[in-house]
Amino acid sequence: MGEIAMLATILGMSAVTLFLKSAPLALLGSRKLPRVVEETLKHLPVAVLSSMVVQLVLVKDGTLQLDIDDVTMWAVLPTLAAAIITRNLFVTIAIGMGFVVVVRLIAG
């Protein structure tokens, strides 16, 4: 692919992404939403982030990989514990990544 084609591709990716990010806020941003919609939106953050965590850990190259030797799969447990106990994002990330580093060092 030539440089111009790459640039066009990137501009296209940018356009669709910016549309998806801005459409709801631009189109209905100042309107009062019906109560049903607001109740639905209340559950959205937990649902979407839970799905993302599972995908990030269990999905590799577009397919589900339940590998018992995969450190990152087990690392979710201490990370979750750290998040529940400390409720601190910095500590949670540090403990999660620290766990993976230590296990990899030990397992060599």
Partner 1 sequence: MSEEAETPRKNGPLRDVARGIGVISPVLMVYTAIGMAYGVLAIDSGIPPWLAVAMSALVYAGTAQLVGVQMIALSLPPVSIIITAAVINARFFVMASGLVPYLRQFSWWQRTLYAMQLTDATFALHIARLPRGNATKTEIYTTNIVGHLVWVGATTAGVIVGQTAENLDAFAIDFAMPAMFVGLLVPLVRDRGQVLVGLGAAAATIGFFAVGASFWTILLATAVGILIGLGADRWAK
What residues numbered 14-73 form the site for partner 1, per CB under 8 A?
14, 16-18, 20-26, 28-30, 32-33, 38-59, 62-64, 71-72
| Separation of alpha carbons 100 and 34, rounded Å | 45
Q: How far is the CB of 67 from partner 1 (least distance, A)?
A: 13
* CB nearer partner 1, residue 67 or residue 93: 93
| Separation of alpha carbons 83 and 50, rounded Å | 14
The count of chain residues that interact with partner 1, using the rule CB under 8 A, is: 74
Burial call 68-97: b when 16+ CB within 10 Å, e when fewer:
eeeebeebbebbeebbeeeeeeeebeebbe
Q: How far is the CB of 102 from partner 1 (least distance, A)?
A: 9
| Sole binder of partner 1 in the list 68, 87, 106, 108 (CB under 8 A) | 87
